[in-house]
Amino acid sequence: MEGELLLLLSVIFLLQGTCGCPEKCFCHSSSNSVDCSHQGLAEIPPDLPPETLTLLLQDNQIRQLPALAFRTVPRLKTLNLSNNSLSELAPEAFHGLQHLQVLNLTHNSLLSLESRLFHSLPQLRELDLSSNNISHLPKSLGEPWENLTVFAVQQNQLQHLSRELLESMPRVRLLLLQNNLWKCNRHLLGLKLWLETFIYEGGRTDGVICESPDTWKGKDLLKIPHELYQPCPPPPPPELVSSQAGQHESEHGKVPKLPEDHSLGQQQVSGCEVKPKPRPANLRHAMATVVITGVVCGIVCLMMLVAAIYGCTYAAITAQGHGRPSAQTSESGKAEGKEPFDSLPA
């Protein structure tokens, strides 16, 4: 009997140790949340309850996240790491968080993000990277984020943002981009075109304010006409390339090897993007223009039809008016023709 009692107490003690709350943290069993904020932590607590759904780690001194940093909380849905000193994230730091929906990394010291970092977050809905030192985002951060609705990169060092990255977020509805070092040249034209469609379809954004060049500093990217972007310089004509090759041959006695496409200009402007076909600055205005044009054309056609009917009616009335005197004349002629016969003696 005493042995069974000791065994039961041991099991209870182990369960308490397994499901206990980490030191310097406050656990709320009713909501399955763990609050470890404002505790001066330098790393992730290792003994987090496995049933945790919300983990608050803001306002600490965490500098890095190792691989599998949250392997003990696979059911986690909300993770707040804001206002720490994060500067290094292992590529597999969030591995295993298949149910994570909200990730807050604001007010840290992140410089860039690897494309593999978010591969294991298929359910992510909100990603906030604001107030960091991020100067570059890859074209893709993993598989298409079918569930992401909020994406924030305010107050960073971004100059460009890939259109491919935004197209991997088909359901995003809130995009926060202000207070970056946006360089409004031809490389940002793809972002401009994407934002126009995004806003037309009901998306919300705080806008892109240009920091350079000086021509557009302080201007809203969406208000700069497409035609004002500097296009790529055209390649030199084939005659100029041939003459340059002949001159080089006469000077050195050797025939230079030209590229296969014989386009010297393309090598000189490597990385120069082809200017997309200009589109309407505002799709709503373009649709309104089409509707107004159709209405005007319809009115003009109706007026032409009315004019044609009026002309035909007028011509018919005129023809009837000219036909009556001739009929009267023919009748009078017949009457006069009968008088000589009537005047003959019987």
- pLDDT for 211 equals 93
Tens of pLDDT, residues 17-60 = 445 799 889 999 999 999 999 999 999 998 999 999 999 999 99
Q: pLDDT: is 40 or 300 the higher one?
A: 40
- pLDDT for 142 equals 67
Give the pLDDT mean for 297-301.
85
Residue 84: CB partners within 8 Å, gap ≥ 6?
57, 58, 59, 60, 61, 62, 63, 107, 108
Please provide the average confidence, as pLDDT, over all residues in the chain.
78
Tens of pLDDT, residues 86-121 = 998 999 999 999 999 999 999 999 998 888 888 889
Least confident of 43-47, 86-90, 239-243, 272-276: 272-276
E strand or H helix at 11 = helix 2-18
- pLDDT for 266 equals 39
Least confident of 22-26, 66-70, 234-238, 259-263: 259-263
pLDDT over 80 (residue 327) = no
How far from the centroid of its chain's Cα atoms is residue 187's Cα? 15
- pLDDT for 229 equals 60
Is the dihedral angle over the CA atoms 142, 145, 148, 153 positive or is it negative?
A: positive
In this structure, are strands 78-80 and 88-89 parallel, antiparallel, or unpaired? unpaired
- pLDDT for 18 equals 44
Q: pLDDT: is 170 or 138 the higher one?
A: 170
Distance of alpha carbon 264 from alpha carbon 239, whole angstroms: 12
Distance of alpha carbon 270 from alpha carbon 75, whole angstroms: 48
In this structure, are strands 204-205 and 33-35 parallel, antiparallel, or unpaired? unpaired
E strand or H helix at 103 = strand 102-104
Distance of alpha carbon 109 from alpha carbon 98, whole angstroms: 26
pLDDT over 50 (residue 319) = yes
pLDDT over 60 (residue 255) = no
Domain boundaries, given as residue ranges, for the chain: 15-181, 238-268
Percent of the chain whose pLDDT exceeds 70: 69
- pLDDT for 271 equals 39
Give the pLDDT mean for 210-235.
78
Tens of pLDDT, residues 174-191 = 999 999 999 998 888 899
Least confident of 47-51, 77-81, 96-100, 340-344: 340-344
pLDDT over 90 (residue 250) = no
Structure confidence at residue 282 as a pLDDT band (50, 70, 90): low
Is the dihedral angle over the CA atoms 43, 127, 158, 89 positive or is it negative?
A: positive
Arch. (CATH architecture) of 15-181: Alpha-Beta Horseshoe (3.80)
Structure confidence at residue 129 as a pLDDT band (50, 70, 90): very high
- pLDDT for 228 equals 59
Give the pLDDT mean for 116-129.
91
Q: Which two tokens stand for residue 84?
A: 């720490």
- pLDDT for 273 equals 43
Structure confidence at residue 261 as a pLDDT band (50, 70, 90): very low
Percent of the chain whose pLDDT exceeds 90: 46
- pLDDT for 267 equals 37
Q: Which of 21, 57, 66, 54 is nearest to 39 (CA)?
A: 57
- pLDDT for 239 equals 56
Give the pLDDT mean for 243-253.
52
